[in-house]
Amino acid sequence: MKIRSVEFAGTVVNPAADLPDDLPQVAFSGRSNVGKSSLINTILGRTRKHVARVSATPGKTQALNFFRVNDTFFLVDLPGFGFAKVPTSVKDGWKELVEGYLGRPDGALAVVHLMDVRRDPRDSDLQMLEYLAGMGKPALVVLTKVDKLNRSQRGRRIGGIIEELGLAEDQVVPFSSKTGEGREVLLEALAALLGVEEDDGEPAREPGAVPG
């Protein structure tokens, strides 16, 4: 799938609110420091002028951010969880927002869940995958920051995580925002999940940054 255009379509802070449009959606989830904004910018080809803001402060994203891609589907950036230094009441609000959105019949068709390849799966990661499996919602796991490992470390870490999660190898994508590894694989997976036909269109000019 070629990325021809990307447009920030707005934020949603209430799980019952109207969505920006009725296009199919795929959501991206993960812990606050997993590199989600960097991954989104990389797969959308917006590495010079970012669409998703990269912050040094974990937990910056506190709403559902919708990006219209190719006028065909929405990429939805979910709030990060885990290390954010915020009150429990705020974290509970994020949980209500995310679960309320994912449970909507017009919500995301599938979820891409990010995990740092250098870290063992946390309870929150396992809970998210169990939650999605319980709903029968397709999930793809992306292991970020694979460039941080040498070849032998990489093989052990990826194999160990796949075994612990009990997933098939084709449900897991190694990824690096630094090198771009995994970008094409992930775009092909998104096209398959969304039923979007691939094309050879030229990418559009990069837009300016938007809230993330």
The tens digit of pLDDT for each residue in 131-185 reads 999 999 999 999 999 999 999 999 999 999 999 999 999 999 999 999 999 999 9
pLDDT at 205 over 50: no
Query: Distance between terminal CA atoms of the chain?
Result: 24
For residue 62, the model assigns a pLDDT of 74
> Order of strands across the sheet with 73-77?
6-12, 64-69, 73-77, 25-30, 110-116, 139-144, 172-174
Note whether 69 and 53 are within 8 A (CB).
no
CA distance 132 to 130: 5
CA distance 78 to 144: 17
pLDDT band at 19 (very low <50, low <70, confident <90, very high): very high
Note whether 148 and 115 are within 8 A (CB).
no
52-106 pLDDT tens trace: 554 444 444 578 999 999 999 999 999 887 655 666 766 677 888 999 999 999 9
Report, as an integer, the average pLDDT of 194-206.
56
pLDDT at 210 over 90: no
Phi, psi angle pair for 40, to nearest 5°: -60, -45
For residue 199, the model assigns a pLDDT of 55
Report, as an integer, the average pLDDT of 2-20.
93
pLDDT band at 49 (very low <50, low <70, confident <90, very high): low
CA distance 141 to 165: 10
For residue 144, the model assigns a pLDDT of 97
| 3 state SS of 116 | strand
Residues 6+ positions from 172 with CB-CB distance below 8 Å: 140, 141, 142, 143, 158, 161, 162, 165
Domains for the chain: give ranges and CATH numbers.
6-194 (3.40.50.300)
